[in-house]
Amino acid sequence: MSSPSGSEAEAVSNKKLAIIFKLLSKGELNIAPVIDHNAGVRYPYVEKSLNIKPEEASKLLESLIKEKVLTKNLYDKVFACPRCESVNLSPKGICPSCGSFDIDKKRLLEHLKCGTKFVVNKLFEGTKPVCPKDKTELENHEYRVLASWFECNVCKKKFDTPEVGVHCLNCGLDFKAREGEFKEIYSYALSDEMTAYVKKLGNLRTLAEGLTSIGYDVHFVESLEGVSGGKHSFDLVAYKVEGKKQIRVVIDLYEKVEGEVDGSIIISMFAKVLDVKPDKAVCVAIPALSDVGRNLAKQYNIEVVEGKNSQEAAEYLSQKLA
Ligand SMILES: [Zn+2]
Ligand SMILES: [Zn+2]
Ligand SMILES: [Zn+2]
């Protein structure tokens, strides 16, 4: 996982970042949907955290996908109305022959004790069928089901399985199950890039706090115009007034989970520093910079601060810039 460069950081607007931090501050990174049979697919966590409407939450999540801030995973597929896409549906059994909803489920029962066979229309769990001969209410173990089928009250046809019909409670359309469409429902999580970026911002915050405590005014991810007219972004730009002069320090942070930060980053930092001409340039490497990197930094007049974590790096950085 590589740390995003300044330009990638800028691609995500401050407004979007504020949204992400608001969502993160509640400790949630995995945004799960719920199916609301009135509003459709909703993301209550996002709605509540940001105080926005269901449609706005869905739109926002999709826009964050486009910007690669979030990634989405298939969470479920639900049946949807082919006309209006609503998931607010009511299923019903219909006659496969004439399409009528007026069908009954019939069962042929036998009262085991007297041998009487009779037909019932409904047999919900717990209901006790009554034997027409001896008028006894029958418990489960007192009868058996010999056969079951469906019967249409309109065309009188008998069949094994009703066709599944669906009524859309949103637009009123009646359609057969096989005419329905499926709608994908997604859950959302922070992208790998964003996870790395959020972690980096957390570390930049630690560095910035140290500098603020020794009198610097620190700007995050700032673009500075160079002599060439081009713009260059630095992770932190720290300002301090000393006497009549304002000191400007540019700082880039590089992290490596394992091993040392590669020396080549000094070359790209030098290109920016050469153009912008700050009073001081510092490369912060966590946990360490390679020997090649340190030598290059010396040649290019870039200061190096290393630390096994952001706290340690912040301490050394503040010592260096005090
Ligand atoms: Zn029928
Ligand atoms: Zn009986
Ligand atoms: Zn519909």
- CATH code of the domain in which 290 resides: 3.40.1350.10
Average pLDDT of the residues in 107-127: 93
Same domain, 249 and 296: yes
Same domain, 266 and 315: yes
Residue 224's nearest CA partner among 266, 252, 262 is: 252
pTM: 0.62
pLDDT at 16: 73
Distance (Å, whole) CA 133 – CA 117: 9
Ligand closest in space to the Cα of 90: 3
Same domain, 41 and 106: no
3-state secondary structure of 38: coil
Mean pLDDT of the chain: 90
pLDDT at 26: 60
Distance 235 CA to ligand 1 centre (A): 72
Residue 213's nearest CA partner among 108, 321, 109 is: 321
In a domain, 275, yes or no: yes
Q: How many residues does the chain have?
A: 322
Provide the residue range defining the domain that includes 45: 6-83+181-189
- List the CATH number of the domain containing 22: 1.10.10
pLDDT at 105: 94
pLDDT at 237: 95
How many structural domains is the chain composed of?
A: 3
Distance 81 CA to ligand 1 centre (A): 24
Distance 146 CA to ligand 3 centre (A): 40
In a domain, 168, yes or no: no
Ranges of beta strands (E only) in the chain are: 30-31, 34-36, 40-42, 70-80, 89-94, 103-111, 117-120, 143-152, 158-159, 163-168, 174-176, 181-190, 217-225, 231-242, 245-255, 280-286, 303-306
Distance 153 CA to ligand 1 centre (A): 7
Same domain, 273 and 306: yes
Distance 188 CA to ligand 3 centre (A): 26
Answer yes or no: is pLDDT of 71 > 90. yes
Distance (Å, whole) CA 237 – CA 239: 7
Same domain, 273 and 127: no
In a domain, 166, yes or no: no
Distance 69 CA to ligand 2 centre (A): 70
- State CA 94 to chain mean position distance: 39
pLDDT at 180: 92
Answer yes or no: is pLDDT of 189 > 80. yes
